[in-house]
Structure 1
Amino acid sequence: MVAHPTRPRRKVTRSSRARVAFAMHHGLRERLLDDELLHRLRAVADVEPGEALHEFSTPEAVACLGRAEILVTSWGCPPLTADVLALAPRLRAVVHAAGSVKHHITPACWERGLSVSSAASANAIPVAEYTVAMIVLANKRVFPLAAEYRSAGTSTNLSARYPHLGNYRKRIGIVGASAIGRRVLTLLRAYAFELVVSDPYLAASEAGELGADLVDLDELVATSDVVSLHAPALPETRHLIDARRLSLMRPGTTLINTARGDLVDTAALTAAVQGGQLYAVLDVTAPEPLPLGSPLRDHPHVLLTPHVAGSLGTELLRMGELAVSEVERLVVGVPAHHAVLPHMLGRTA
């Protein structure tokens, strides 16, 4: 049975130095933690030597789990099932150096009373930055113009062909007041945009504090110059942007999806783009990747990127730094600053 959301999390005490192990894709730990971050971690905890765990069945993995009090996870961590937790009797906390914990945190973790935290707020930063960049470039029609300029060598009569080109006074619709959606709104306040947001869990007063007007989703898609998706993938959000809502969008609207591919009906979007009505910036798709024959791959109204909006390269260090900060708190008995609780999972990615 899943623990009640208000059930106290177990705290890691400092009666002895905490033992920290890692579970993630091979080679990822070295990209999350540079020498400085690893030094900070070793100053407060004993760090398991060797490679990070990417499966839990080997004798070495079983021995490592048996010693671990804090498990730092990231992409590639296998599910922490009841059988796995039975191998880790000292485990009290899972610190996820990435975004969603849904792939590896199971009901057994809540039953155990584990403290769980996530670096989703750190991963939100590059996604929001990517989104803002795409909004600005989309309103300038950079993508079709760049393709035309590359092939033709010139681009003339822009004012006649794109009379509404530009960012001044454009209406930007944010779907989902998630950590990323909120950060996008915060960044967009520096521009001369009209901002609207749609989220069933958001109050009008909260939207106002974010600099946006709260509207229902149909109004948002029907009146925005750019519609940017930041909602979680849930059964009720599958095909949130379907053929009907795509038909509500005004000609020339740009749809940006950096959230989850299933939020959009790909077949309906393909038809709308091919009909010349819409533009799209897609960092995620359903399926992912799109088939090689998909018309969205080379359509001049579409920018397709390979899931690059989230943390990559140097941006991984930001998530590693957050994870180290969480461990520093936990080893002295202070609750995680970025805790994840069971009741939050129904509203997050």
Structure 2
Amino acid sequence: MRVIYDPEPRSTAEILSPQEERLFRSRHEVIEWQGEDRDAFYAAHLPEAEAVIGQQPMDRERLDRAPKLRVIVNVETNFLPNIDYEECFRRGIHVIAPGGVFALPVAEMALGMAISLARNIHGEHAAFLRGQERWLFAGNRESELLSGSTVGIIGYGDLGRALHALLAPFRVRVQVFDPWLPEGYLRRMGLEPVPFERLMAENRFVFVMAAITTENAGMIGREALARMQQGANLLLMSRAAAADFDALAEAAAAGRIRVATDVFPVEPLPQDDPLRRVPGILFSPHRAGALTQALREIGTRMLEDLDLIERGLPPVSCRRAERETVARFRSMPVSKS
């Protein structure tokens, strides 16, 4: 296929191994953006392009210039509001994103942070460095086991499914809130579907794994946090926009709940942000999914689906934009890897 290749903010070295890059360039006619005027570049090459790899705007005007276009691959991995999706659906142009590559790394980090919250591993480590460690039972007065406990997962997409698989050895009862999935489907997965309010109230560990949509932004607010059990554990692993951080900080500082977060309203978080000084929060600087293996899998999945589409088959390795849901996503674009 004739491919426009413009992966910024990703780089080729990040998403393709040397072997996969050779395969990509030998199998396809790759027209790579090299820093020149983008409008002129796209105007020159869209008429013959069958695929676009990148996350630049693809409005109706650009799509009209691309009569042969079959697929847009967003290697930034979010469905951004800079594409005329309706026109793509009308013409049968696939819009795909390999966002699932981050699911397992994020799930592993969520599991590790949950255990650290439950046993205060991070807190006692810091105390040890200060010479203030508490030995034996004294250091475990507020600790609890994840094994055999109760877990709530908000959002059963890529992240939620990966976490569910990792939880199997812990023999936990798992409730899920996901209004985009039927209850029967969740039950077949061995899960208990429940309303959001019940999930917040009935679990010792609550994992926020949902993508941000028009319906769930800010859902973890004061009312939701007030439903949580005393000393319960909240882990914010997907997007910062899911939570009211002022309410989160208040609940953690008061000792009502224990909180872990990998995401923040502003990233990097300013050095003078008061959130940094809130006790009861385990911080991670948005590094849960940021693994070299995950970035390289972007290229692997991209190549797999390009091959399928070239052979007249539907993509399976990346997620496809769906007419019914794509306009509801509210993900922030990635500025750098």
Q: Which TM-score bucket, shorter chain as reference?
A: 0.7 to 0.9
Q: How does 1:236-275 map to 2 (within 5 A)?
A: 236-275=215-254
The corresponding residue for 1:305 is 284
Asked if the contact 2:150–2:202 (Cα under 8 Å) also holds between the matched residues in 1, the reply is yes
The answer to whether structure 1 residue 82 and structure 2 residue 60 are counterparts is yes
What SS class does the counterpart of residue 186 from structure 1 fall into? helix
Unaligned runs of 5+ in 2: 332-337
Q: Distance in 2 between matches of 1:27 and 1:270?
A: 33
| Aligned partner of 2:45 among 64, 80, 97 | 64
Distance 2:36 2:188 in 1: 42
The match for 1:33 among 5, 9, 16 is 16
Judged with a 3 Å threshold, the aligned counterparts in structure 2 of structure 1 residues 117 and 54 are, in CA distance, closer, same or farther, namely farther
For 1:236 and 1:55, how far apart are their aligned partners in 2? Answer: 38
SS where residue 324 of structure 2 aligns?
helix
Say whether the 8 Å CA contact 1:93–1:114 is kept in structure 2. yes
Counterpart for residue 101 of structure 1: 79
> Where in structure 1 do 4 or more consecutive aligned residues deviate above 4 Å?
346-349
Q: How many residues align?
A: 327
Q: CA RMSD in A?
A: 2.5
Cα distance in 1 between the residues matched to 2:114 and 2:219: 20
Structure 2: distance between partners of 1:347 and 1:36:
37
In structure 1, the residue matched to 2:335 is none
Out of 22-31 and 167-176, give the one that drifted further: 22-31
In 1, distance between residues paired with 2:37 and 2:66?
14
* Aligned-pair CA distance for 1:35: 1.6
**Structure 1 residues without counterparts, runs of 5 or longer:** 1-17
Assess if the C-alpha contact under 8 Å between 2:4 and 2:33 holds in 1: no
Scaled by the length of structure 2, the TM-score of the pair is 0.87
Whether the aligned pair in 1 keeps the contact of 2:4 and 2:52 (CA below 8 Å) is yes
- Scaled by the length of structure 1, the TM-score of the pair is 0.84
Q: Does 1:292 align with 2:275?
A: no
Q: 1:167 pairs with 136, 143, 146, which one?
A: 146
Shift in Å, 1:154: 2.7
CA positional deviation for 1:326: 0.4
- Find the counterpart in structure 1 of residue 28 from structure 2: 45
Give the stretch that moved more between structures: 207-216 or 316-325.
Answer: 207-216
Matched, 1:114 2:93: yes
Structure 1 stretch 169-178 or stretch 292-301: which is displaced more? Answer: 292-301
Q: Percent identity?
A: 24
Deviation per CA, 1:174-219, whole angstroms, max 9, x where unpaired?
0111221122112211223221111223333322333322222112
Q: Note the C-alpha offset of 1:98.
A: 4.1
Match of 2:334 in 1: none
Amino acid at match of 1:35: P
